[in-house]
Each structure stands twice: as C-alpha cells, then as structure tokens.
Chain A
C-alpha cells in the first residue's frame, strides 16, 4: 500500500466529498430524499404540490395544519431546491450527528417546523394583513444557523471590525439580509421567524420539546434501531459536533470518542484505495476529465441557439438613433440614377469589338474617367490611386477612384466611407451599386448637416482595391501601392453597397465578417437591420440563410456558417479590409426577387449615413465579439467562450497530468501488487521523501514504478517540440510563396511527407537517441509539452478568433488520447496493428487531408482555396495558415510520432 505522502497534493479532493456524501446520517438522507421527491412531484401539472403543501396564512385552519409540517420539503423550482439542499445538508448532518436521529426526527417534525411557520402566519396575517405563501427548506437553514450562531456567541462573543465589535449572534441576520437582497422572491419575514426560533433553540428555551433521553434509549433498545437502520445515529453516539471535538482527548466523561460511523468503515477503505491508486489518478482520471471537457465544450456550443443562452440584439450607442430621420432620397433622384446607369452601360456597350451582345464588364480607364467626371460635376474632390499586388505568381492590379464630400464647417477630423466596388464579392458586375453611389454622392453634397466627411470609394474589385486604399490611407501601404493624394480624418465607419442585377430585390444580405475573424461593432449591424427592417420594411439576411424560420436547426446552422467564415479568416467582402484598422464596416447586398427598388436601398444607405453622422464617439458601446444566429439574436463572448476554452483546456489538463505523472509514476497497470508495507515504514518513507524531493537521487529514476520522485530528462523532449514548431515555418513558407499551379502537387506531397515524417522521427528517437529505459518517460514528456503548447495557443486564440480555436481544437482532440502503447502490456503484433490503425486514423485528420476533404465537401478546388489563402496572407494579412502550420501541424506530428514509437 502506497503512502499518501507519496502522492502529489491535490487541492480539491473528490474522494473526500464522496466519502462525506456516503456518510450522511439517516434523517438527513430522508429529508434530502423527501425534498427531491417533492420536487419531482411538482414537475407534473395535474396536482400542484406547492399549492397543497405551502404555508398560506389564509388557508391555515385545523384541517390544513399539515401545511405547517410539509412546507419545508416543498420547493418551487430546481434552483430553489438545489440551493436549499446545498445549504441544508451540512447543517442538518451536523445537527443529527450531535443530537441523534431520533431527536432530530422529533424536533424537525415538531417544533422546529411548526414554530417558525406559526410565528410567520401570526405576523403575516394579523400584523401585516397580507397573504404571502412560503415554502422551502430555507427555514431550517436559517433556524439552524440561528442556533449555531448562539453557540458561537457563547464561545466567541464578538468579532471586531476595526473599532466596532459586532456580536457574533447577528451573523444569521446578515446572511438573511444578504439573501433577501441577492435572491429575488425570498420571504424575509419567514427567514427572520426561522432565525428567531433558531435563537430560542440555541438559547435552550426549546429544550422542553426534546424527548427525554431515557425514553429515546428505551425506544432505541426495544426496536433495535441501531441494528436495523443503516446510517442511524444513536442516542449514545451523539457528539458535540464532529468538527470540534479533538479525538485524542478522551477525558470527556462516560462516552468514548465516536469517530467512526456505522457501516462506513468499508467504504472509507475503498476510498482510500482509490486515492492511493496512482494508476487511476494519473492515467484514467485525466482521460476522463479531458473527455468530459471535450463533450462539455461541444454540448455548450449546441446549447447556444436556445433562447436561454442567446439574447435579442439591441442598440447600445444612443447617438445612433437609427431610423429616427426621414429619408428624402426619392423622386427625381431616380431619374438621375437611371441616367448614370445608362451612361455606364453605354461605356460597356461601346467597348464591344463588333457590336455583339456580349458586354465588356471589365473596369476600364473609360469607366474610371466617367466615374471621376460624374463626381467632379457633383462638386466633390476626386482622386485616384493605382495599385498592384502579386501573390502566388498572379498579379492583381487596378485603380481606385475616390471622392470626398468635405463636411461644411467640418475640419477633416472624421469621415465615413461608402464603397461601391465595380465587381461584387461573387465577381458580378455591380452596375446598380455604382450608379446608386454616384447618385447618392450628388444628393449628399447638397445637405449641410454632415458633421463628418463622406468618402465615396470605387474600387475595381472586391478583393484588392479596398485593401490598397485603406492601407494607403493609414500610410501602411506596400511598395507597389500608390499613396493617397487626398485624405480626410479618422474613419468612423464603412458601408459597402452591392446591387448586381437589374430586377428589384427582396431583402438585404448583410456581410460582416472581417479578416482573421474580426467583427465590426454589433451596433453597426443592428443599425443596418433596424433601419432596413423598421423604417424601410426590407428584411435582413445573414450568412446566406435565405429562409430562416428561427428554429433551433436554422439558428445553429447560421452560427455554424458564421463560425466557418470566422475560422477560415478570409475577407468576405470589401468591408473586411477595414476591420484591422478598427474601422467598423459592413456590406449590404441586395438579394432575391421582390418589390424593393434601388431607391429603397438608397434610402437605407441614407439612413445609415445619418446614423453614423450622429456618432459623437467611435463605435465602442456594443459588442465586438459575438456570434449571430438571426438578424436579431446573438450570443456574446461571455456565453460562447467557455466552449472553446473547454476544448483548449482538455489539452492543458492532459499536459499537466502527464507532467505530474512523469515526476511520480511512469508505469502502467503492470506490477500493481507491491509488497504491503506496514504503517510505520510508510510514514517513515513519507517523511524521507519530502526531503528527497530536492535531492532527486539517481536511484529513484532507475526504478520507475516505485512511488519515488523521478528525475525528468527535459532536453530532448523540449528540443523536439520546439524544433517541430519551428519546422512548421517550412510548409508555411512553401504554401505561401510557390506559384499557384503547384498548389495541388504540394498538398499531395505534404500528405506523403506527413505519413513518413512521424515514423522517421519515432525510429530515430527509439533507435538512435535514447535508451529503452528512458522511453516511457520520454514519450510522456514529449506529449506533455506538445499538449501544453497546444492548449496554451488555443486558449489564447479562443479570445481572438473563437471559431478557429474551436475548429482546430476539435480536430486535435484525438491527440489527447493517443499514446505510446506500452510494450510490457501489449504483445508486439497487437501493438503493431493498433499503432498502424491509429496512424491511419490520425493521417485522416492531418491538416492537408482535412483541407482536401473540406474542399470536396464544399465543392471547390484545392488549388483555388490555397491560391486564395496565399492571397489572404500576402494582401489581407490573414494568419490562419500560421495557426495551421505552426500550432496544429506540430501537435499532430507529435501525436503521430508517439504512436510511431510503438512500432519499434
């Protein structure tokens, strides 16, 4: 039997709680059971238990006196019952242990429930003339607290707070006050009555109701209760509080120290066995905890769409006042809109080489010139910017046209941006959007109420143009992007207009995801939804959920789509480029076939600009971290974060457990029967061990299965883990810098390398670098470090990009459970089969394979995806790849290498 001292100290001992629960005496158990039963009974709807059993002052008469006894068992809800149970158990257990089961029964079915209830009824009915029903075991809680407080007062009359001396008997009153403040719907009067009775009891006034000991003893003896009932506390066994009596001093009188309870000694031994079973503590328990964390994390996420865990959106920034102004954009402005549109169409048609029907929809210098001339005619300051980006061997170039309405009386300190890209996110021609922006420019110029400059930006596409412009606006542009000749003040918000078809539209699709999962302030999104829906009667969609019926499935699907976008971290529209500069922006896409025309979209934009114009401060009031599940429902970071944190925490738990295990216990189940040491020897060893902790003698390392402290050999595992993380830079470089046509080849090559690399690693480690004796510890340490780093990265990442952390965490979960298969317990063929199976499974979860599977699921091409990713890295500053190659991949390789150890 191992000594407890050899075990690492656990701050919280679950077995102790278990033993406490197992030792609860009889009456306490019965009361708890009764409360539980009544709570369960209350769940049905036919017969109201509360109505039947609660103390209702008006209902009390001779026939309903039972209420004075039943009410403590009845509760109005789960939390009521649960909290009362928690509070009552220790107090009642103590009372029973002190006074014996029979006394407890007599008192609690008699005076201790009827007296407080009687006092309450008297007060409520005859003094206050009210009729509030009371129910619940809190009456006993406060009663017992009251009696305990009196006893405390006897031994320890005051506690001093500075110069004041507060009598200790007042503490239940404080508790009562606090409860009535913190918990709604509690009966202060009821609690006070209970405390009063408690005081009386504590002072001994109720001693007359205690049945005489002689009678009790007689009953006990006649019925042989002690033998028949389990957990029965005898009259003879009662103590003065188990906590207080020191067991060594037995000079108390006629009684021996009653430290053991009936029927508990066997269980205690079982618990002690459990505690001293290092295999369970170090091997099974962490696995169970990790698994629980993972399951809890996933279940947590699945709970989010429920009404209890999500919230209705609301406008937090009062200055926005969405929809409070009348939008005047209508009437003859529509004629001008058509004029601009025809003018732009004429340019497109004019470029057809031979009068064909096909139009040249490209953004040409002629288009740029036309846009500039229209803006100049409207009296705006116009400028252009050329840019060029090269990524994966593809060159993206273009020219931004932008114009500024300088706010009358403004001083160029703040600005709003309106973007109308020539090509939409889906690469459609955004003719209506551009024409609308041009019309709005002329219309806005006439207003004098702008407090901020309004910038109209016309990039040639939705991917590069805005990024080049916003980079140059902050003077952060790369070499091939021109600086801006014309500037305004700090940007306060951005709106992107997309209307890429000729018919009328039905609803607005709002895009809000930024690069790397950054999100705009929720207020901006809410304002758009509120103005479109409330003022214009245009519905809003998000995440391409066209027929959202607000069901659980639809909400979950919306969240999932949002998380996938957030996790991939790519720019979903021109608005995404604004987010890294802390500028809130959204894209409004006209979608569907309905009866809303471009003027309605224009009025929505006008309303949004007026709202943004109202802003006195940068948008900061509302949430920056949220998951949207419907245009008007969201979950905030406080609610959803635990989900990813639990997943990330599972790695940390495993890492810490492994670290402890490497220091104390590296063996597995084999050789469990150790020579039973007698108690004397054990205690001696325990004392010696504490001194040995520092010394760490070599001898203890030699015997890995002993309960001694083992020296950890850190150099190799540390080097390996750090080296693998640095090795991740190689694929990161390759996948961001080679020409786009080699991407599929590179993916397949990386799958091959992934299959071989861990085995090579395992072979070289087992064959070359280590001795067989070190291998168990080595594998545990490698796994510990690897998981520690993984847990650390993922929990940090969860606060920045929840979805990415969650997805990577979920894909990495098998790594918590793979291990080197112990050669001592498993024979070689089984080992080989198991590890090969494990390796195949892990290879399916390797980053490139997951990429391939995801691509085939979404029906896209690997090359396209990787080109896009490299583009994101080069242009948008996206760092999803860093997480994949420098966090996920090294952890994955380590996991495979651990399995690979078993092959050799």
Chain B
C-alpha cells in the first residue's frame, strides 16, 4: 500500500463518517519519514455542520467568522491554499492528498460563487478576497482583475451543488506572498480546539515555518447524500516536510556549527584516514526522532470535541518491525498493510512518540509520480524571453492525459504562434513535432493591458516513456514608473502553472513560480533630473539677467534718461504719496 492509497482511504473514511452524523469534528495526523532525513507530517481537521443550521447562522463546529463571510459573498465552495517551498518529487515521491490540498507558491484561492452574471460574480469575488484578506492576514485583497481568471477545465466542484448554472468559478493567485506565522494563527483560530488540544497542539510557528515544504489549506464545500441531508463541510489541513536534523536542533542554539572532531563519522577503511583527515561516511541507519524533539512539544491529549473518541488520530508510517515508543496510555493499532500503525489519544493525557536510531531495514515504498513538470524562463535580455515547459512521463507503458493551466501577468506577452513542441524518447533523441500532436484542446484568453492577464489551458497528452518540451516566446512590456514595486530590480513573480491529471479523482501538480526580470528604469533618474533642471535654470537665469541688464536705447533716450535724475523722480514719488494720503483721508 502506498501513500496515495492511504490518503484516499482516509478520504473515503471521512466520506463515510459524515453520513451518520450531521454535525461532527474529526482530526488526524499522519507521520511518514521520507528519504534524506525528511519527515512528512499531514494534519487534517474536518468538521461538518448541517446546511439548515448553517443557513440559520447557527454554527457549532463550523467557524462563524468564515461562515459569515461565505454567506455574505454568496460563496458556495471555497478553496484557499498557503504554500511555501517546493515539493521534491524526486526524493519524496508523490504529493500528499494527490496534490489536491496543495497550492502554488504563495497564496492560491478559488471559489464557486452564486451570482446572476459575471459582473455580479466578480463583485462578490472582490468582497470575498477583501474579507478573507482580513481574516487570514494575507494580501488577498491584491487579487484584482489582472490576477483573477476563470478556469474552464482545470477545476471541478468537489461538493454537491443543486444548480451549477449560476455558479461562477473564479481563481486567483499571489505567487509572491510570503506565508508565515501571521497566517497560521487565524488558521488555528478556525479549529474547534484552537490548537490548544488535539494534534493541532503540535503546530508551532517556529517549527512549522522552518520546514522544507509547507502547505496549509482550507476547503469549504456542501455535501448532500441521497438521503437528502445536506452538510457544509470545512476541511483544514496542514502538510509539512521537516528536516529531522534541523528540527532537532535546540531553539536556543540553531546554528549548524561543524560537529566536534570526535563526533565525526569517518570512513576508517580509507588508507589516509587519520586524526585530522576524514572522509565522511554515509550513515545507513535511520535517524532517531521523537514528536517532542521535532515539534518542540508533545500532543496535549485529544481534542474533547472529537467525535468517536478520536480513533487512530495519530498514524505513523514506518515498517512494522521498526521499534516505536509511544507514551503510556495510547492504544496502538497496526494496519494490515505492514507499514501503518495508528495511535488513539486520550483526552488530557500528553502523547509523545519516540523512534530510536536503528539500522535501516525496509523502507516504506514510494510511488513513482505520474508526471514530472518543470517550467523555466529561458533567454536573456530586457526585451524578449521564452518559456520552456518540460513534461516527463516516467511510465513505460501508459500515456498520461492532463490539463495544463497557466496564468500569466499582462506585462508578459506570450506569442502563442511560436508554441513549439519537441519530444525526447528514452533514447535521448530530440525530435521537433507539431504541437498539435500533443495538444488536444486549447483554451486561450489573451491579456488586456492593466486589466486582465493571459489565461492558457491546454489539454495535453504525453506518450509513454518520453519527455515533451513546449516552448513559446514572449515579450516583456514596459511598465509605467508607478507600477513598479519598491524592489523593482528583483523582478516580477509569475504564478505557478497548475496541472490536473486524470478525471474522476484527479491528481494535481504545480510547477515552481518564476521570476521575470523586466526592464527597470534607473530610479536615480529624479536626482539626475534635478541636476539637469538646476543647470537649465542657472543658464536661463544667466541669459535673462543679461537681457535685463542690457538696455537698448537710442542716444536721445540716453540723454533723456540722464535728465530724469533722482531728484525729479523722488519729487514725483513724494507727490504721488501725498496724493495717496489725501485721497485716503478724503474717503475717511
């Protein structure tokens, strides 16, 4: 059994559980050591409230703050993702939850909004982003029309909706958003136990955001069964990949100083090995770790609101022969697949796990990812560039069909006619083929400057055991100077592309985000302008002064002027003054 199948199992279990109760809460934690001393921890929190109570604004487990926003914004289904880092599929295998609870780097949000037309939907969407921005302390309010798209084929509603006609799907990303503790705190506030009890008590900002990869998700959807009971489900999850070595470092001394000489693990078989020469030996044993070591604290008992006494809330995926010490009182249940054991927590009893160092025996097998995708910007220069997307199908037998969805900012202007495809087989030969051979369907919505970005959705098929490379050229627009961010020379983030593989239970992949360097003006220019203006003013002053001082008179005028002595002028002034005073006194 594999990770993916386990997660689908959990998924199905979740499906089964809500059928019995209309209002309940579940939480779970799955821990799985990964190669290279990494540890995947998947937290999942799921609560249901019945649709009637939701409509009557009677919330039990469903967070009121979010419920009110959703009602206000007419949002029927919501998906919000906060992600940092990149999933290393080469080492870590397929993504948790098949990538369905994961977003691109930064913040990603998509929602189905009930509205009469596109305009109304967009107005509600803006309401939604503004409100969520406040709720989650994220810059979601920056999702404006240029960052909003309406995907056609990439996303399907996960919930049950009565009438799909009036539902509008809107999608927005903020690839540059830095996810940090200020987003985690409101996230935990939404939980019934607020991170004080249950598995959520492990979620400490310091450890969570020191992870190599981390993703938080919030999914809200209505679920109806044939028996007519409708529930509104909120599903929150946190997935992190921790570096065990790094997490075990004490918080007051986190610097990875060189180890003391006596702790070096050396290959003593080398002929040159001596006290001062050491060829490091690759460690073959599994590292020791414990929950409190890695997370900095232990689980403070189960959340009392959990229905059904929290059966198997914490699951660990290591081979059964691996030695595991759990806190006394926890009930261990081993699954039949040979790799999973789950522990049932007791309320108000702290729970901890200790896994001692042990020689590596069997490893939990990791699935081969169905598809590898890489997207990079190629070329150089300020004016043009190119996009290169590589799809690699590792399967030797099956072709893989998927939808490729990317949104590009308006200042990146793609030339779709330059879209070209090359295919490389396992023999390493590159062949140029028409792109239409792989692209079955295209949905392209060109950008409008400063109004909306480019939206490109391709239905692609990559043959077995081959690598397909798509390339297209683009041009970089020149922005107005006020449109540059303060750190203009860093470049601009381009949102990751989303890849949806399969139909019924899709697998989602996301590429890394990109950095697009745009032609940046020299912002010291104002200084130069001041200097230039000063020079011009100095020159102008000189010539104006010259004109003022210089007189053009005829000789007669000159002599006449000589006659106009100070005496007569002064006399005139005095007369004028006298008149003035008189005039004044008269009016008085």
Contact = CB atoms under 8 A, between A and B. Distances in A.
A335 B264 contact: yes
B386 A244 contact: no
A258 to B, nearest CB: 11
Interface stretch (A42-50, A336-344, A416-424, A671-679): A336-344
Given A149-B549, A244-B551, A342-B272, A253 B559 contact: yes
A497 B282 CA distance: 26
Given A331-B261, A411-B86, A448 B210 contact: yes
Interface in B184-243: 209-214, 243
A475 B85 contact: no
Contacts of B488: 617
A154 B555 contact: no
Contacts of A332: 258-261, 263-264, 278
Nearest to A245: B555
B545 A413 contact: no
Nearest to A410: B85
B545 A343 contact: no
B270 to A, nearest CB: 7
A339 B559 contact: no
User: For B86, B209, B517, which residue has the most chain A Cβ atoms within 10 angstroms?
Assistant: B86
Nearest to B175: A411
Contact of A409 (B209, B548, B555): B209
Interface in A318-376: 328-336, 338-340, 342-343, 346
Interface stretch (A167-175, A739-747, A875-883): A167-175
Interface in A168-190: 168, 171, 174-175, 178
Contact of A487 (B85, B273, B280, B376): B376
Contacts of A338: 272, 276-278
Interface in A271-309: none
Interface string B498-528: 0000000000000011110100100000000
A775 B44 CA distance: 94
B551 A243 contact: yes
B545 A406 contact: no
B190 to A, nearest CB: 24
Interface stretch (A64-72, A218-226, A439-447, A885-893): A439-447
A250 interface: yes
A377 interface: yes
A617 B561 CA distance: 68
Given A244-B552, A246-B555, A338-B277, A412 B512 contact: yes
Interface in A437-469: 442-443, 446-448
B374 interface: yes
Interface in B236-292: 243, 245-246, 255-261, 263-264, 266-267, 270-273, 276-280, 282
B285 to A, nearest CB: 15
A744 B359 CA distance: 67
A562 B50 CA distance: 78
A841 interface: no
Given A252-B555, A408-B85, A487 B374 contact: yes
Contacts of B259: 331-332
Contact of A489 (B84, B214, B515): B515
B386 A475 contact: yes
Contact of B566 (A168, A178, A205, A487): A205
Contacts of B548: 149, 152, 156, 159, 168, 171
Given A487-B374, A489-B515, A618 B278 contact: no
Nearest to B388: A475
Contacts of A346: 271-272
A379 B36 contact: yes
A340 to B, nearest CB: 7
B23 interface: no
Nearest to A240: B558
A217 interface: no
A36 interface: no
B136 to A, nearest CB: 19
Contacts of B549: 145, 148-149, 152, 171
A593 B376 CA distance: 45
B422 to A, nearest CB: 10
Nearest to B551: A244
B427 interface: no
A548 interface: no
Contacts of B86: 406, 410-412
A176 B390 CA distance: 70
A311 interface: no
A381 interface: yes
Interface in B73-98: 84-86, 88, 90
A174 B541 contact: yes
A128 B452 CA distance: 67
Nearest to B213: A409
A406 B86 CA distance: 9
A243 B211 CA distance: 83
Interface string A141-169: 00001001101101110010000000010
A582 interface: yes
B553 interface: yes
Nearest to A204: B566
A708 to B, nearest CB: 36
Contact of B85 (A151, A178, A244, A411): A411
B565 interface: yes
Interface in A747-780: none
Contacts of A408: 85, 210-212, 243, 246
Given A335-B276, A336-B280, 12 more contacts: A159-B548, A205-B566, A245-B555, A339-B266, A339-B278, A411-B86, A446-B245, A475-B378, A475-B388, A476-B378, A476-B380, A620-B520
6 contacts: A246-B555, A253-B555, A408-B246, A409-B211, A413-B491, A446-B245
Give me the 10 closest cross-chain CB pairs, A-B, nearest first: A252-B555, A475-B378, A339-B279, A617-B489, A446-B256, A413-B515, A335-B278, A204-B566, A331-B258, A338-B277
Interface of B: 36, 84-86, 88, 90, 105, 209-214, 243, 245-246, 255-261, 263-264, 266-267, 270-273, 276-280, 282, 374, 376-380, 386, 388, 487-491, 493, 512-515, 517, 520, 538, 541, 544-545, 548-556, 558-559, 561-562, 564-566
